[in-house]
């Protein structure tokens, strides 16, 4: 069983996906971390994340230990992630890893929850349950600003808003696997919903689906 959760930056994918995976006893993969870790590797070398060769080499050298670390959560790394994510070969390199985890979850797990931008459209188009989360860019910037401010009191809302707008534009405009709702996804506008309300709505859909397919 695969559950796909896609949507733009700070729409609440990770928070939701982690809770759904816990509730279902499924594995969880935050696919954004793969792109973030690739972007961070290129930045650490002092190179441009839009440089094809540097980004492809970084993606090929990725190991699971690269996926940990608070520094991956910064907007600077998020921006680098969306630059490497626009390079087709980088996406191809990272695709197998995502598909393997989705199709062969670790021992003891009966399924997987993946969150990202192209899970329902490209990584796991066969997933029987797909969600697409949205919220206005101002609401999303507010959510990300609050997260960042907890770690860095000097975070600036206007800057977070601008970075999210740039990242959304880049993610939606790229040629390969752009941010787009799958035609069979359930759309949830989370603007006026808190994380609990989104989780409850999603679990209700999952239970209905499971009940119908028993
Ligand atoms: O993974 P993604 O970037 O889509 O978002 P996230 O990091 O899971 O969520 C961003 C922040 O929004 C977190 O602090 C959540 O607690 C909060 N939030 C949410 O996830 N869902 C809502 N409906 C409202 C707020
Ligand atoms: O948490 P947030 O939504 O801010 O970002 P993320 O999910 O960690 O993703 C960081 C960047 O990686 C995105 O802006 C995308 O450019 C890229 N990404 C992607 O292209 N495809 C995915 N499946 C996941 C992330």
> Is the Cβ atom of 136 under 6 angstroms away from ligand 1?
no
Domain membership of residue 199 as a residue range: 2-212
> What whole-number distance in Å separates Cα of residue 88 and Cα of residue 59?
12
> What whole-number distance in Å separates Cα of residue 199 and Cα of residue 19?
7
- pLDDT in the model for residue 44: 97
- pLDDT in the model for residue 46: 97
Distance 120 CA to ligand 1 centre (A): 19
Q: Is 9 annotated as contributing to ligand binding?
A: yes
Q: CATH number for the domain including 53?
A: 3.40.50.300
- Give me the DSSP letters along 87-104: SHHHHHHHHHHHHHHHHS
Ligand 1 atom at minimum distance from 190 CA: 23
Distance 179 CA to ligand 1 centre (A): 18
Please list the rounded mean pLDDT of every run of 10 residues in the chain (214 residues).
97 98 97 98 98 98 92 93 97 94 91 98 97 98 95 93 96 95 98 98 96 80
Query: Looking at the 3D structure of the chain, how many domains does it have?
Result: 1
- Give me the DSSP letters along 28-52: EEETHHHHHHHHHHHHHTT--TT-H
Ligand 1 binding pocket mutation candidate from 10, 72, 134, 199 (most atoms within 8 A of CB): 10
Q: Is 12 annotated as contributing to ligand binding?
A: yes
For residue 2, what are the β-bridge partners? 112
- pLDDT in the model for residue 102: 92
């Amino acid at each position: 069983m695969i559950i796909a959760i896609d949507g733009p930056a700070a729409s609440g994918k990770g928070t939701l996906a982690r809770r759904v995976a816990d509730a279902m006893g499924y594995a969880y993969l935050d696919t954004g971390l793969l792109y973030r870790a690739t972007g961070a590797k290129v930045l650490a070398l002092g190179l441009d994340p839009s440089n094809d060769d540097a980004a492809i080499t970084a993606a090929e050298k990725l190991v699971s230990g690269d996926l940990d670390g608070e520094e991956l959560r910064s907007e600077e790394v998020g921006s680098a992630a969306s630059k490497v994510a626009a390079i087709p070969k980088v996406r191809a390199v990272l695709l197998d890893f995502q598909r393997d985890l989705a199709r062969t979850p670790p021992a003891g797990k009966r399924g997987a929850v993946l969150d990202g931008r192209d899970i329902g459209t490209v990584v796991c188009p066969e997933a029987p349950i797909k969600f697409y989360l949205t919220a206005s860019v101002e609401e999303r910037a507010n959510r990300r600003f609050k997260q960042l401010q907890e770690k860095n009191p000097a975070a600036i809302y206007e800057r977070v808003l601008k970075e999210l707008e740039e990242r959304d534009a880049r993610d939606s405009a790229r040629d390969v696997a752009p941010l787009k709702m799958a035609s069979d996804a359930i759309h949830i506008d989370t603007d006026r919903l808190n994380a609990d309300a989104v989780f409850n709505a999603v679990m209700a859909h999952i239970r209905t689906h499971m009940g119908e397919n028993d």
